Amino acid sequence: MTTPTPYSSSTGAVDPPPREPRNGLGTSGFVVGLIGLIFSPLPLIGVVAWPLVIIGLILSSIGLSRARRGKATNKGLSIAGVVVSAVGLVICILWLTAFGNAANEVDKEANREVAIHYEVTGDAPNATISYTTYGDGTTSTSEENVTELPWSKDLTTKGLFKGGNLTVMTGGDGGSVTCTVAVDGEDAKTSTANGQFATATCDGFGG
């Protein structure tokens, strides 16, 4: 009587040897996805997380499919790979959205128009008025000698508005002066001075 071999059946047919589990993709997907998840919250460095989490998600999904078909034995690890890769991908998307919003705000601010209203009132018979506006790398300064109040000036700046100042000084005849600054229709600064060569300054607004 013939003794059956480990791979033979009672009928004498030889059974194929058992297949080795194909766990490589599922394991690789978990490792790559985990690395991507670790990198995803880091500014700048997080850029490399994009390909890692995508590759990790693909490999883990293939590994999970193999496990469900009985071709792999690391179903739990494959599921973990899908989870960490998906979480990393969500973090990458959130970072991209945040950077996109920040870029839009910067662009919006760079093209924003700001309306500035300078005004001087009082009873001084003469005064010297100087006004300055500060933009993104630009400065505009003007000076006027006036013999009648009230006086006003409307300016419009485009781009990043960093502020300005309005200064009014009375002459030798004295009197009172009040300077007022409004930015985009809202009062930003006011100051009053009385007497000879008295100075009222409106600054520290904007920026």
Q: Is 86 exposed, middle or buried (0-12, 13-18, 19+ CB in 10 A)?
A: middle
pLDDT in tens, 72-90: 899 999 999 999 999 999 9
d(CA 9, CA 136): 87
Q: What is the DSSP string of 40-90?
A: TTSTTGGGGHHHHHHHHHHHHHHHHHHHHTTS-S-HHHHHHHHHHHHHHHH
> Of the ranges 45-54, 68-77, 151-160, 187-196, which one carries the lowest mean pLDDT score?
151-160
For residue 167, count other CB atoms closer than 10 A to its CB: 19
The answer to whether 23 and 71 are in contact (CB under 8 A) is no
Give the tokens for residue 141.
Answer: 């300064």
Alpha helices in the chain (DSSP H): 24-39, 49-68, 75-110
pTM greater than 0.85: no
pLDDT, position 207: 57
- Looking at the predicted structure, is the pLDDT value of residue 112 above 80? no
d(CA 54, CA 33): 8
End-to-end CA distance of the chain: 100
pLDDT, position 136: 61
Q: Could you give all domains of the chain from N- to C-terminal order, each with its CATH number?
A: 24-109 (no CATH), 113-205 (2.60.40)
